[in-house]
A and B are shown apart, each in its own frame.
Chain A
Amino acid sequence: MSSETKQILTTDGIPLEVSLKKAEKKNKIKAFLLVAPLLFFLIITYVFPIGDMLFRSVDDKMVTQMLPKTFKAMENWDGQELPEEEVFAAFHEDFIKLVEDKREGKLSTQLNYTKNGFKSIIKKLRRASKKFEEGNYKEQIMSVHKRWADVEYWRAIQRRAPEFTGQKYLKGMDMYVNEEGKIVSVEEDRRIHRVLWLRTLEIAFFVTVFCFLMAYPIAHLLATLPMKYSNLLMICVLLPFWTSLLVRTASWMILLQQQGIVNDFFVGIGLVADDNRPEMMYNKTGSYVAMTQILLPFMVLPLYSVMKTISPSLMRAGKSLGGTPFVAFWKVYFPLTIPGIGAGCLLVFILAIGYYITPALVGGASGTLISNQIAFHMKSTLDWSFASAMGLMLLSGVLVIYWLYNKIVGIDNIKLG
């Protein structure tokens, strides 16, 4: 901190900084030991899994290791015509080894990701390879199925040669590397991820807006009510935390379904016809309603903690100086709550962007988010590297938002409580 160039010595002649470090050393070690358990916990449960995820999303060693000789032989192949006998022989050799280890199924799955149609021709090749004779493997393999004589399929194999690949990321953006090595978008009717990304952003944005609009008055009331009422209100705000997320979502299902309480009420007061009940669940509406309710406390609490610190005399001062109640609110009160608004919005938006259970249960087809897609690949297709890639894209999206927030509002301006 000090800008002085002259070194300051203690009375014993030791430089002050050295002396200070020595004096502080014990405390520093103590402090470190106190945080060490958390640090190790974080490394094991957070840093390590994220690192693994990052690695998994670009890792493509599997095919590289299954077909080592093939890829070595392919190094001299320009990819224009069908490869030479040398490549076919190497491929045969690798393939026989895989069949012995019963791993050719995995190869077919992997190659099928790159190009459709590998599954059946690899099955055929396995059966036929038992009767293969020595020599001239090119002819023999090509005779198994006409696709083996198609240069496209060999190019597809060659594309799997590198140990690392970014293709999962491209797939997450509905893009792929075509035969010419160019990055292109998939056909319009097969694009699913871009829609999901946009929908995730849209739902997260609107949930944040709804949460803000509802939480601001609640937080203000909490901060200004006398203690005995504000405690009760605080309990009401926190009550959802005491119930399982699943139960809360399930209760929204009871409320929002077509024969549910809300619809019954609308029919009862004659707002909608009995045979024309609106669908409020298994679509975006369901996601909006349930997520807003569930994430509301995350907006209320930071706002409340900021509003609590704003002296009521400021609003009074604003009014006594001649500002109408609105002017006093807008010019005096509102600017002072911005740190809480920032914290709440950032928190809700980030939570909403990765929300999973609620949209899975009440979102239906049009209300699911990218996290549901990630879960789908984790559990159903078992394409973990793709799931990891999308998870990381989500993470980097959040980091970008955080960065933008820091640029625009400033992260020092945040106040969580």
Chain B
Amino acid sequence: MSVNKEFVKFDKVDKSYDGKVLVVKDLQLDIAEGEFITMLGPSGSGKTTCLMMLAGFETPTNGEIYLDGNAISSIPPHKRGIGMVFQNYALFPHMTVYENLAFPLRVRKIPKDEADKKIDKALSMVSLQGFASRMPGQLSGGQQQRVAVARSLVFDPQLVLMDEPLGALDKNLRESMQYEIKHIHESIGVTVVYVTHDQSEALTMSNRIAVFNDGKVQQLSSPDELYEKPVNSFVAEFIGENNTFTGEVSEISGQKCKVKLSNAEIMANPISVKSKGERTKVSLRPERALINPKDKMDNIHNGKIEEVIYHGDHTRVRINLLGNPEFILKVPNSSANLDIKLGNEIKIGWNSEDARALDPK
């Protein structure tokens, strides 16, 4: 069975609300069947607009969206057969859980006994059996959330859209719901397009992540690639923590380049710089830098500890390094006693391939 690689296709989609500003610019995005794809970005980056266009509540100003090969711009939302989970759940407050779930089945004229079976199945999927006769107001936030998920799946749509569904939940519940949604996705193989501004949520759940900024997809790749190999400094800074050095390329050769900072020179991995003299921002993940490295590393510099913050499983250390007073290190809480004290001078080393020389922005 071949998987449709272009189950959903955004083809050169533009969107503007006022005719002056483009909220979505020339969007080109393919979503494969059965994929869990997350649109991640800061608020105002156009991710929700994309979702609304896919659901049919907004029309693209230019371009076309295809669902399973069919152009859908002229199809009204109720004929698209796309399940949707809304930010504030949007459960119908005057209907019981059962009636909420029965709504999409009734409008599809599915006979009652068959509908009952589907509702039972959907409720057991979110482990809410026995809640059918409750009103949404009698449920907790997490339960309402699950009803909303069940309702979006009960009519067996091929595509489900989720618009920041976990935004209103507290941290613990949010995490357990992330796994729950992920498991549901894995067990029924539905295609999910998920919108969030929470990067850890995106990293946990998705097959692929599309990072949005300024109406454009900055990077579309798997979570690990996104984290390990950000293609530009926006993605590098938006996903996870990041140490940066701004400077100028002074030498470039194959997989290595030299970047001249204000008072030193470091070795880096040239990603988006091509030639000598270009301005660049070098990005380095905190966990890639080591204290007192034993191995031979091509960057070893001295820094002064400015701040130590205890985090339980790890300790964050802020170091003034090479003129950057915001250099962060994560030291795992292990028995190895390192001499981490405020004001100490320590040696820090990293490999040039982990220091990615990106666009200066």
State the CA gap A181–B63 with chains docked (Å).
89
Q: How far is the CB of A42 from chain B (nearest CB, A)?
A: 35
A313 contacts which of B77, B79, B86 (Cβ < 8 Å)?
A: B86
A336 touches B81 (CB 8 A): no
Segment among B22-30, B103-111, B220-228 that sits at the interface with chain A: B103-111
B109 to chain A: closest CB distance in Å? 10
The chain B residue sitting closest to A333, CB to CB, is B92
User: Which residue on B lies nearest to A331, using beta carbons?
Assistant: B103
Chain A residues with CB under 8 Å of B86's CB are: 313, 316-317
Q: Are B103 and A320 in contact (CB under 8 A)?
A: no
Measured CA separation A324–B81 after assembly (Å) = 12
| Contact with B107, one of A314, A322, A335 (Cβ below 8 angstroms) | A322
Contacts of B55 in A (CB 8 A): 316, 320
Give the complex CA separation of A376 and B78 in angstroms: 60
**Would you call B104 and A321 a contact (CB within 8 A)?**
yes
Residues of B within 8 A of A318 (CB): 92, 103
B46 within 8 A of A: no
Q: How many residues of A contact B (CB 8 A)?
A: 19
A335: chain B residues at CB < 8 Å are 94
Per-residue B-contact encoding for A292-325, CB less than 8 Å = 1, 0 else: 0000000000000000000101101111111111
Residues of B within 8 A of A324 (CB): 78, 107
Neighbour of B94 across the interface among A320, A325, A336, CB < 8 A: A336
A322 with B108: CB separation less than 8 A: yes
A335 to B92, CA, bound (A): 10
Q: Is the CB of A332 within 8 A of B77?
A: no
Q: Is the CB of A320 within 8 A of B88?
A: no
Partner of B92, one of A320, A325, A327, A332: A332
CA distance in complex: A332, B95 (Å): 9
Q: Inside 8 A of B44's CB, which chain A residues have their CB?
A: none
Tell me if A67 counts as interface (CB < 8 A to partner B).
Answer: no
Segment 146-202 of B: residues with Cβ below 8 Å from A? 151-152, 155
Q: Is A141 an interface residue (CB 8 A)?
A: no
Best-buried of B88, B92, B93 by chain A (most CB within 10 Å) = B92
Q: Report B-chain residues with C-beta under 8 Å of the C-beta of A331.
A: 92, 103
Contact with B along A231-256 (1 / 0, CB 8 A): 00000000000000000000000000
Q: In the complex, what residues of A have CB within 8 A of residue B103's CB?
A: 318, 321, 323, 331
Kindly state the separation between the CA atoms of A332 and B83 in the bound complex, as whole angstroms. 17
**Contact assessment for A321 and B94 in the assembled complex, using a CB-CB cutoff below 8 Å:** no
Is A370 close to B, CB under 8 A? no
Contacts of B94 on A, CB cut-off 8 Å? 335-336
Interface residue? B90 (CB, 8 A): yes
- On whether the beta carbons of B77 and A314 are closer than 8 Å, the reply is no
Contacts of A321 in B (CB 8 A): 78, 83-84, 103-104, 107, 151-152, 155
Task: Please name all residues of chain B whose beta carbon is closer than 8 Å to the beta carbon of A328 when the two chains form the complex.
Answer: 78
Do B78 and A320 touch across chains, with their CB atoms under 8 A apart?
A: yes
Interface flags for A105-144 (1: CB within 8 Å of B; 0: not) read: 0000000000000000000000000000000000000000
Q: Give CA–CA (A335, B77) in the complex, Å.
A: 22
Pair B83/A327 contact, Cβ less than 8 Å: no
Q: Considering the complex, which residues of chain B in the window 236-269 have a beta carbon less than 8 Å from any beta carbon of chain A?
A: none
Chain A residues with CB under 8 Å of B93's CB are: 336
Cβ of B78 and Cβ of A316 under 8 Å apart? no
Q: Report the nearest A residue to B94, measured CB to CB.
A: A335
Which residues in window 75-103 of B have CB below 8 A to A?
Answer: 76-84, 86-88, 90-94, 103
- Interface secondary structure of A, over-half rule: helix
Of the listed residues B79, B86, B91, B155, the one surrounded by the most CB atoms of chain A closer than 10 A to its CB is B86
Q: For B77, give its contact among A311, A316, A336 (CB under 8 Å).
A: A316
For B56, the chain A residues whose CB sits under 8 A away are 319-320
A322 and B104 contact, Cβ closer than 8 Å, known pairs A316-B57, A328-B78: yes
Shortest distance between the CB of B180 and any CB in chain A (Å)? 21
Proximity bits, B256-294, A CB within 8 Å = 1, else 0: 000000000000000000000000000000000000000
Contact (A322, B90) CB under 8 Å given A317-B84, A331-B103: no
Residue of B77, B87, B91, B108 near A320 (CB, 8 A) is B77
**Interchain nearest-CB distance for A345 vs B (Å):** 19
**C-alpha gap A240/B115 in the complex (Å):** 52
**Does A314 lie within 8 Å of B84, measured CB to CB?**
no
CA distance A320 to B84 in the complex (A): 7
Question: B90, A317: Cβ atoms under 8 Å?
Answer: yes
Q: How far is the CA of A320 from the CA of B152 in the complex (A)?
A: 9
CB-defined contacts of B108 to chain A, threshold 8 Å: 322
A331 CA to B107 CA in the complex, in Å?
A: 10
Question: Do residues A311 and B155 form an inter-chain contact, with CB atoms below 8 A?
Answer: no
Given A316-B57, A335-B94, A336-B93, A322–B88 Cβ distance below 8 Å? Answer: no
Contacts of A316 in B (CB 8 A): 55, 57, 77, 84, 86, 90
- B residues 40-59 near A (Cβ < 8 Å) are 55-57
Interface-central residue, A320, A322, A336, by most chain B CB under 10 Å: A320
Question: Could you tell me the distance between the alpha carbons of A313 and B89 in the complex, rounded to whole angstroms?
Answer: 9
A389 to B78, CA, bound (A): 58
Contacts of B82 in A (CB 8 A): 320
Report the bound CA distance from A335 to B57 in whole Å: 23
Within 8 A of B (CB), among A323-352: 323-325, 327-328, 331-332, 335-336
If A319-B76, A320-B55, A320-B56 are given as contacts, then 5 extra A-B residue pairs at C-beta distance below 8 Å, sorted by A number, are A313-B87, A313-B90, A318-B92, A321-B103, A336-B94
Interface residues of A (CB under 8 A from B): 311, 313-314, 316-325, 327-328, 331-332, 335-336
The 5 closest A-B pairs by CB, nearest first: A321-B104, A317-B90, A313-B90, A320-B84, A319-B77
